Structure 1
């Protein structure tokens, strides 16, 4: 893969092939492509296909077709996360060596029940920026011998980041440079707050890496200097900055752009077939018309 010079910044668009691209994806891809062109930089396409249960070859083929129809071009070869699982495993092993991860076995149902019981008793359960209850962390302080028993058992498990321990280990205030805008218009130097997410999952027994872990590893290895993505991932940057610091990875500049919302006011999803790029193409719309819809 070609190396970048300091004068040739790298941008990337990184969809998951678990459905057809919609107008929100078109916006993000076009912004990345146009910003790369304006900066004299490189535009990469990365396929984030770790979720083998949902990712399918026909959706990957559709991604290439939709982006090419929009008039976008990208460097070859395309990076597929499924081909680099060893790199994510190595990153997880390094975090294990730092003592900032632990195995957890609570299911979603068990977490929901624990939160419901606590709230029924009058406790206000903390939630992450997306509104999901934080993990109780019952296994967080188990000694290594008991952790080994969990891993040897029949229950599915996940490796979670002990955020409090990780923040203490870093022992500095983490920030990032935001050239877009957060949900409330935040821009400039932003103070990260990884603790707001609680102990996020980094890997599961049925999935070798989470989005949080794989994205920071990939961005570093591909030399991505500008992470340009939707505003729904703005708060996740706090977790990414913590992982970058723990793994001694470079810090990109971040640019979070607006989201395209559906008629119900929610961000578009891949289940919204009426907003799919392919649907507009089939209806006779031109690439220029789709670009005008999103920009």
Structure 2
């Protein structure tokens, strides 16, 4: 598939399951994959598989093979070819360059340790530092205003940096209000998007070719995805994706954020939780029908 984005219009319903091959699939992934497959089937639509392997240090061919084996065992059939993000780094960079040309992103240089120290010092003196919907501190904004000479000097060094979206400029560049349509297990209908709650999000790092936000938004548009079915843990992040869709003139899918499968302690399942890995459950003798029952399908 060439990296040419097309508007979806009134095309056939298109769904995608998009795991990262950095661990074993667990029951939460099974719920998402099965929902995507079922919704594609009942709508007469298509099901695509995308492997989100941007993190080339943690994603492995072993985990990729395990994902394919788990999906086959569950009886989930998807179209070929499988899209691997690691094969399309130049595509993501082209989109970033468009935003750089419009001066909607800026290079940032603070390390995680420096941000942490800044936040702690502020909170000792002035109270809570603003945080994003996931609870992480928002990135300080003074680097938005670095002089061009200082910015160029720092970019020319070997220090690591990231390109961040200037949220203030980005919101000023689009018509408001910004919304999306959701049909899932949380809030439904027309949802008011609040990307500013995330602050100046990372779109690209010097040691990684794209952020999740940038890559997933571009890939959904490129692949003609009309329905994004994923967990409620990504509900609020949709605001950032909608902002990028408008800034880059991309198509807008319908979203369906489904309930999460939680561990016994109430936390979201992790790929490090071996006892809920599909391969471990299969070895214990469970069948695909058992998995459907466990996830409530």
- TM bin, normalised by shorter chain, reads over 0.9
Pair 1:104-2:128 in alignment:
no
The 5 Å alignment of 1:58-207 reads: 58-182=62-186, 186-207=187-208
Q: CA deviation at 1:280?
A: 0.7
**Partner in structure 2 of residue 234 of structure 1:** 235
Structure 2: segments with no counterpart, 5+ residues: none
CA-CA distance at 1:34 after TM superposition:
0.4
Structure 1 gaps, min length 5? none
Normalising by structure 1, report the TM-score: 0.96
How far the C-alpha of 1:138 sits from its partner, in A, is 2.7
Question: Aligned equivalents of 2:185 and 2:78: distance in 1?
Answer: 26
1:18-70 residue CA offsets vs partner (Å, 9 max, x unmatched): 00000000000000010000000000000000101100100000000001000
SS of 1:170 mapped into structure 2:
coil
Matched residues in 1 for 2:219 and 2:67: separation? 19
Counterpart secondary structure, 2:204: strand
Q: 1:153 offset after TM fit, Å?
A: 1.4
Residues 236 and 284 (structure 1), Cα distance of their counterparts in 2 relative to 1, 3 Å cut: same
How many residues of Structure 1 are paired with residues of Structure 2 in the alignment?
292
Match of 2:258 in 1: 257
Aligned mates of 2:90, 2:175 — CA distance in 1: 29
Partners in 2 of 1:252 and 1:145 — Cα distance? 41
Report SS of the residue matched to 1:207: coil
Q: CA deviation at 1:225?
A: 0.2
Q: Secondary structure at the match of 2:86?
A: helix
1:203 match: secondary structure: strand
Q: Secondary structure at the match of 1:11?
A: strand
- The C-alpha deviation readout for 1:98-125, integer Å capped at 9, x for no partner, is 1110001111110000000000002321
TM-score (norm 2): 0.96
Does 2:29 align with 1:28? no
Following TM superposition, where does structure 1 have runs of at least 4 consecutive aligned residues deviating by more than 3 angstroms?
A: 3-7
Deviation digits for residues 65-86 of structure 1, max 9, x if unmatched?
0010000000000000000111
Preserved CA contact (<8 Å) 1:7 1:41: no
Please give the secondary structure, in 2, of the residue aligned with 1:110.
helix
